[in-house]
Structure formats: structure tokens, C-alpha cells
């Protein structure tokens, strides 16, 4: 069988409130294998959080031929359009109110809701020993840590009812007769920079988000493209002519903003891993522990997820399903 081209479906799922804030899961699913190539919970459904999910996935798993997404604001943002154009990815948006083409990611989200979120209990503070049932969390970092473990240890190794294979097996098999498309780290990094078009003044200056920059005097009166890091507006900015030809850099003259408004709050969402340890029937914590053990090189054994507690055995048996919806 000839492997199919690498296509990816992406979407966002609304999740629980943590620390009084709504959470959102950005996820991208390989169309052929159903493997999760990128996922992360965040406090906002915007282009900054989307980039935080997508960039490491492209560096790790390679460049897909096509990405199929909906028309949400993060997926319709020009920043994603620039990423896909620079990396040679065909970006396809589904028709409004017609999610049929994204059925696989929708089914994955149903699995997330039933098998993962059903195990989560959000608390206002770190759980106390001997309290609660299931996986108690109080931070976004914990949510991301547990979700990563659930995906890597359980979802990727459970036989899919449609394909008859686990997502990980099917993903590995799909690369037998082909190799992933790779881009250099510099190419990927450049693709995730933002850009704006501006007209250069007669004095060879331009304005961006209230900041003033100096450019080459030969560009006076022309339109240029500014390519910049939204997290560091004080750094030199690459300048391209209206023909796309590199035309030097724009250096800072006067600054009012150091960070783009869209990027201002994103740093607070960084994933630092699980912080607390809860007790009770903590099925997902067991998966997280097994995931950490696996990352050290030890083989995976779901049998070892059992504990002497009869309640834990019952919970494990309830959740070990042979087929993923």
C-alpha cells in the first residue's frame, strides 16, 4: 500500500475553568494515523497560543502537505497564513457551519471529553492528602502535564476502532516508504515571525505599534514589509522591499511598546509541569508517572498501573477500553 500524503486536521476544544479562567485545547491530528502531532491547553484561543502548539510539532514531526482547520479567529489570523505559506503547507479552512471535513478531530475531542476530562476535578488550591477522587488539579501546568501523559501512554497505544491499529503503530508504518519533509530550525523560526506592511516616511522612518524605527534612506517613500518578533519589539527588525527582497534592518529610535499586545499575557501560560500530588483513585496520575518512567527508557506496561487498592483496580478496568471512538 502506498502511504498517503501527510495531512493534518486542527481545531480547538473548550475546557474547564482553572483559576477562574476558561481553558482551551489546541490539537492537531495526523489524518492517516490519528496520532496527535501537537496539543496544548492554554488560557486563550489566540494566534500566540496556537503558535506555541504548532511550532514544536513542525520541528519534531516534519512539515505536512496540508492543514485543515475551521474559521476560528486563531486559525484565520494572518500569522498562521504566513507560517503555512513560508513552509509550503496548503492551508484549508472548512466552510462555516460545516465541520464534516474535520470529523476525525471532532471524534478525538469526544474521546478527550469522555476519557480525559471525565477524570479531571478542578480545585481552587492544591489537593490535601486523602481527599478527592480522580485527578485533582488546580493549575494549567498540571492540566497540560496530565494530558500529555494521557496522550502518550494511553491514546497513542490504544487500538482505533476505524483503523484497527494504534495511532502510534499506524504513524510508524506510514513512514516505511517515505521520509518526512524537514525544514531547518532557522526556516521554521523565521516562518513564525510576524509581519506588517508600512510606508516609509521621507525621513526614512517607519512606525509600528507606536514605536519608531529608522530604515535605509534609499527606502524613503516606498512600501516595505517588516518582519519581527512579537515578544521583542526593541530588537532590530528585518525589512523587505515591496518585491520581497531583503532591504536591511529597521533600528529602534523611540519605543512605547516592548511586546505586541497579543503576546503580552502569553508568557504567564508556560507549562512548568505538574506541581501537586493528589491522592484517591488517581488514574491519570498513574499514567503520568508511567509516562515519566517511559521517557527514561523503560518499557511501557499497563499492568503495572495497578495498585493494591481495590478501588484503583476497578477504575483502571473501567477505563481500559479496547477501541478508541
Q: Is residue 242 located within the same domain as residue 101? A: no
Each residue's pLDDT tens digit, 107-164: 999 999 999 999 888 987 655 444 445 678 888 888 998 999 999 999 999 999 999 9
Domain count, the chain: 2
- 270 falls within a domain: no
Name which residue leads in pLDDT, 71 or 309.
71
Q: Is residue 53 located within the same domain as residue 202? A: no
> Residue 48 pLDDT > 50, yes or no?
yes
Q: Is residue 232 located within the same domain as residue 122? A: no
- Output the domain CATH number for residue 116: 3.30.420.10
| pLDDT computed for residue 2 by the predictor | 42
Each residue's pLDDT tens digit, 68-87: 998 889 999 999 999 999 99
What mean pLDDT do residues 80-95 have?
94
- 272 falls within a domain: no
Q: Is residue 110 located within the same domain as residue 234? A: no
Each residue's pLDDT tens digit, 154-193: 999 999 999 999 999 999 999 888 888 999 989 999 999 9
- 8-state DSSP, 228: E
**What grid cell was written down for 245?**
527582497
- 56 falls within a domain: yes
Sheet holding 66-69, edge to edge: 36-42, 21-30, 7-18, 66-69, 90-93
| pLDDT computed for residue 226 by the predictor | 98
Stretch among 27-36, 239-248, 281-290 having the lowest mean pLDDT:
281-290
| pLDDT computed for residue 295 by the predictor | 47
- Output the domain CATH number for residue 242: 2.30.30
| pLDDT computed for residue 135 by the predictor | 79
CA pair distance 169, 174, nearest whole angstrom:
9
Look at the chain and count its residues.
325
Q: Is residue 70 located within the same domain as residue 169? A: yes
Q: Is residue 312 located within the same domain as residue 257? A: no
| pLDDT computed for residue 207 by the predictor | 97
The overall average pLDDT reported for the chain is: 81
- 109 falls within a domain: yes
> Whose CA is closest to 86, among 61, 68, 56, 63?
63
Name which residue leads in pLDDT, 300 or 75.
75
DSSP states along 73-139? HHHHSHHHHHHHHHHTPEEEEPPTT-GGGGHHHHHHHHHIIIIIGGGEEE-SSPPPTT--SSEEE-S
- 27 falls within a domain: yes
Q: Is residue 176 located within the same domain as residue 248? A: no
| pLDDT computed for residue 292 by the predictor | 60
**What grid cell was written down for 199?**
510606508
> Residue 3 pLDDT > 90, yes or no?
no
Q: Is residue 161 located within the same domain as residue 255? A: no
The predicted model scores a pTM of 0.78
| pLDDT computed for residue 125 by the predictor | 62
| pLDDT computed for residue 262 by the predictor | 87
| pLDDT computed for residue 268 by the predictor | 60
- 325 falls within a domain: no
Q: Is residue 246 located within the same domain as residue 130? A: no
What mean pLDDT do residues 51-63 have?
91
Containing structural domain, residue 304: 7-183+281-319
- 273 falls within a domain: no
- 106 falls within a domain: yes
CA pair distance 36, 39, nearest whole angstrom:
7
Q: Is residue 122 located within the same domain as residue 75? A: yes
Q: Is residue 99 located within the same domain as residue 242? A: no
| pLDDT computed for residue 277 by the predictor | 30
What mean pLDDT do residues 83-101 have?
83
Q: Is residue 178 located within the same domain as residue 198? A: no
Amino acid at each position: 500500500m502506498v502511504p498517503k500524503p501527510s495531512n493534518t486536521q486542527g481545531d480547538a476544544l473548550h475546557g474547564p475553568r482553572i483559576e477562574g479562567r476558561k481553558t482551551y485545547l489546541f490539537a492537531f491530528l495526523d489524518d492517516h494515523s490519528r496520532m496527535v502531532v501537537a496539543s496544548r491547553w492554554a488560557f486563550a484561543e489566540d494566534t500566540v497560543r496556537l503558535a506555541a502548539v504548532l511550532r514544536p510539532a513542525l520541528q519534531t514531526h516534519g512539515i505536512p502537505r496540508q492543514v485543515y482547520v475551521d474559521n476560528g479567529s486563531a486559525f484565520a489570523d494572518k500569522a498562521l497564513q504566513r507560517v503555512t505559506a513560508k513552509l509550503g503547507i496548503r492551508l484549508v479552512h472548512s466552510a462555516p457551519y460545516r465541520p464534516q471535513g474535520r470529523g476525525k478531530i471532532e471524534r478525538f475531542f469526544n474521546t478527550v471529553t469522555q476519557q480525559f476530562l471525565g477524570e479531571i476535578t478542578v480545585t481552587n488550591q492544591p489537593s490535601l492528602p486523602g481527599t478527592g477522587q480522580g485527578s485533582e488539579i488546580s493549575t494549567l501546568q498540571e492540566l497540560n502535564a496530565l494530558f500529555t501523559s494521557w496522550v502518550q501512554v494511553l491514546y497513542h497505544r490504544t487500538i482505533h476502532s476505524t483503523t484497527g491499529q494504534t495511532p502510534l503503530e499506524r504513524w510508524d508504518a506510514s513512514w516505511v516508504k517515505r521520509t518526512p519533509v524537514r525544514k531547518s530550525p532557522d526556516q521554521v523560526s523565521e516562518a513564525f515571525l510576524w509581519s506588517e506592511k508600512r510606508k516609509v516616511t521621507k525621513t526614512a522612518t517607519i512606525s509600528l505599534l507606536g514605536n519608531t524605527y529608522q530604515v535605509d534612506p534609499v527606502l524613503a517613500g516606498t512600501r516595505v514589509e517588516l518582519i519581527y518578533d512579537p515578544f521583542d519589539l526593541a530588537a532590530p527588525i528585518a525589512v523587505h522591499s515591496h518585491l520581497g527582497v531583503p532591504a536591511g534592518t529597521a533600528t529602534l529610535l523611540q519605543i512605547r511598546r516592548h511586546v505586541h499586545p497579543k503576546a503580552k499575557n502569553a508568557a504567564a501560560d508556560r507549562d512548568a509541569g505538574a506541581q501537586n500530588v493528589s491522592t484517591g483513585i488517581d488514574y491519570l496520575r498513574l499514567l503520568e508517572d508511567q509516562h515519566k518512567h517511559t521517557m527514561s527508557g523503560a518499557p511501557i506496561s499497563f499492568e503495572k498501573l495497578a495498585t493494591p487498592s481495590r478501588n484503583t483496580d476497578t477504575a483502571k478496568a473501567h477505563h481500559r477500553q479496547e477501541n478508541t471512538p
